[in-house]
Amino acid sequence: MSGSAVAAGGAPVRLGILLSGRGSNFLAIAHSIRTGRIKGAQIAVVISNVAETGGLKAAQELGLPHALLISRGRKRPEHDAEMIACLQAHQVNLVCLAGYMRLLSPEFVAAFPNSILNIHPSLLPAFPGLDAQAQAFAYGVKVAGCTVHFVDEHLDHGVIILQRAIPVLETDDAHSLADRILVEEHQAYSEAIGKVVSGEYEIRERRFVKCNPLATD
């Protein structure tokens, strides 16, 4: 997969986490690295674009490098350039959006080709954008879930790495559904990062598949 981040020559892939909120997906990733569920990766820096987020506080408590780069009132290209510089200063080779609630500029996407991941709380291409779980619940779907995908210049659109599905229960409301999807997100993001950094998968057209079709799981 040209340009994508893999654990080359034994050096761990350096993750840059971007977030805007509570950071539960970031914490799930950090836990997976600590416990060896994700191999060949380390968190190089955590960046929040919003002040006083739970995610930034957690990064501080874990002793991880972190930065607050406030986006409010800033032009996107200018703020994104600042983030690119910070990620490059920390030698990041895989960017993981973990509840980062701001669109990225084409310049940012181009700076990390095939090396930006996002998690979205719906089974894409259904329900892109904000409040995906509530959109899915209101639509009346019987199956919901989450998607981890590469980021391209379109919203919630890049190549899908993996998805996890759950049934919508008769007893669900939009909140309980979102809570149950979040449990799946925490599993899915670590699994997806593990696949990407393993170097065993490649992008073919819109498919993320094993490099060697004869290899078994």
- The CB-nearest residue to ligand GRF is 99
- Taking the least distance from each CB to ligand GRF, the nearer of 62 and 81 is 62
CB 205 within 8 Å of CB 150: no
Q: Is 31 in the site for ligand GRF (CB under 6 A)?
A: no
Please, which of residues 50-69 interact with ligand GRF by CB under 6 A? 55
The amino acid at 212: N
CB 133 within 8 Å of CB 178: yes
Active-site annotation holder among 66, 79, 120, 149 = 120
CB 203 within 8 Å of CB 4: yes
Q: Which of 202, 204, 163 is nearest to 184 (CA)?
A: 163
Q: Is 104 in the site for ligand GRF (CB under 6 A)?
A: no
Q: Alpha-carbon distance 106 to 111, whole Å?
A: 9
Q: Alpha-carbon distance 137 to 160, whole Å?
A: 22
Q: Cβ of 48: how many Cβ atoms within 10 Å?
A: 27
Q: Is 99 in the site for ligand GRF (CB under 6 A)?
A: yes
Active site residue 175: no
Q: Is 122 in the site for ligand GRF (CB under 6 A)?
A: no
Min dist CB 210 to ligand GRF, Å, is 26
Min dist CB 66 to ligand GRF, Å, is 15
Please, which of residues 124-153 interact with ligand GRF by CB under 6 A? none
Q: Is 119 in the site for ligand GRF (CB under 6 A)?
A: yes
The amino acid at 174: A
Q: Interface with ligand GRF by CB under 6 A: which residues?
A: 19, 21-25, 55, 98-99, 119-121, 182, 185
